[in-house]
Structure 1
């Protein structure tokens, strides 16, 4: 599938930056099987393209980032199918070491929260709303690993309050409990996400990927000493790279480094 043929997402490349937009605003960017497949393909492209270094994930329109599963489509078809990489093609992807930045506009509910939790950084508009309404309709947030991710990302009591009540929270509260890095005025979400991306792009790409891999994979190792002695492939690749030599050389020569990602 060519990126230009996507119907349910926009794949926009600007140099090393990819902006991936959920593009179903008529249903508040709710996702159905075809959208999941397109997004899985888009994230595959991002992972495989050596020229792309950072991805911003956002939603079309001002009303919603993503409100989860398209329930009307589900009721009509009964089709729950998702790719092996999970909801939106990202929640079950555990080998993507390039950074993901969520730029949240409007409602971020259910599966939208799953996408946010699968991203590394999060920026939201002041008027964004967050929540896990599944228990209020007889369900639990089982589909994308959120029940496993949340207590690893925020305080357990805050995670329990979100999960057990199904009550919505504001962007300010989402920032307070650690779901977000920043809350910004309406209209400033994408510009701030792009600033974060620029700060990441100033760093060596292999160093960024190594840092993400070590942080995430070490969380699976209970013993700190063992975690510090694990072998991390991205870190080994970084240490053997041209960029690992370029950084100190540029510092000594008092110039900006020229990263190649090799």
Structure 2
């Protein structure tokens, strides 16, 4: 069996903080079947790794992820894309889209450190992350509509309106236009913009703040925040909060946090 080139790398930057890096810089980290499979594999390993507290997702080189790699998919004389059957295309789309739900379900918060292009599937990875920081070179586009497809793909039509509002999301998805980091910051798509050479350091700063909190509290916060996007009423949302908060208040870490506050020291969390 021929081993495929490793194009998704994971390493621990600091205790509890892991960097997940897409590594096809010559193609702006555009998605191939190999990259998608390796990303699924790494996310599965991270989900089972209790020592990992935060994940930083980024791309090597000049791009975060430029979407699906279209090289070799030129239309034939009939104007249609060659190769796969409709069934194969459906499987491919579902396989890529399941990255979004996998990122959402990951116990650890994901910080997207967005360098260069985040387009199509790359935009989906960004909006499925929990925190987004942009380098000054970052560019964003939901460009599906510009290649003859629907702009609604890979969960973006559900996620983007919830992040920036329906009006702005409609405009970006119907036009497919490219926006720069400054506009992404202005409309609330990213938390802030930093110089490109400071991007990973900025993400590390956020990750350190997160790891300063109790592991159980962080996991619950991510879980409840995502669930609240689908909760149908304020009452249901408050009931969910009450149940999870009551559980969290009974952990040893909650008691340790209160004791540390009263004693004027940093808490020593044990995830218990």
Tell whether the structures are fold-level matches, with TM greater than 0.5: yes
Could you say which structure has the larger radius of gyration?
Answer: 2
Displacement of 1:92 after TM fit? 2.0
1:30 matches 2:30: yes
CA distance change for structure 1 residues 39 and 233 in 2, over 3 Å: closer, same or farther? farther
Deviates more, 1:232-241 or 1:248-257: 232-241
Displacement of 1:223 after TM fit? 1.1
The 5-angstrom pairing of residues 205-216 of structure 1 reads: 205-216=215-226
CA distance change for structure 1 residues 53 and 29 in 2, over 3 Å: closer, same or farther? same
1:64 matches 2:56: no
Q: Distance in 2 between matches of 1:150 and 1:187?
A: 27
Contact 1:206–1:237 (Cα < 8 Å) also in 2: no
Displacement of 1:26 after TM fit? 1.5
Displacement of 1:232 after TM fit? 8.1
Contact 1:211–1:235 (Cα < 8 Å) also in 2: no
Q: Higher helix fraction: Structure 1 or Structure 2?
A: 2
Contact 1:134–1:141 (Cα < 8 Å) also in 2: yes
CA distance change for structure 1 residues 245 and 6 in 2, over 3 Å: closer, same or farther? farther
Gaps of 5+ in 2: 75-81
CA displacement 1:54-112 (0-9 Å, x = unmatched): 00000011x2100001112566864645597x538630224223200000111111111
Gaps of 5+ in 1: none
Displacement of 1:184 after TM fit? 0.8
TM-score normalized by structure 2?
Answer: 0.86
Displacement of 1:235 after TM fit? 4.8
Number of aligned residue pairs: give it: 256
TM-score normalized by structure 1?
Answer: 0.90
Match of 1:252 in 2: 262
1:87 matches 2:133: no
Match of 2:189 in 1: 179
Displacement of 1:52 after TM fit? 0.3
Q: Distance in 2 between matches of 1:73 and 1:247?
A: 56
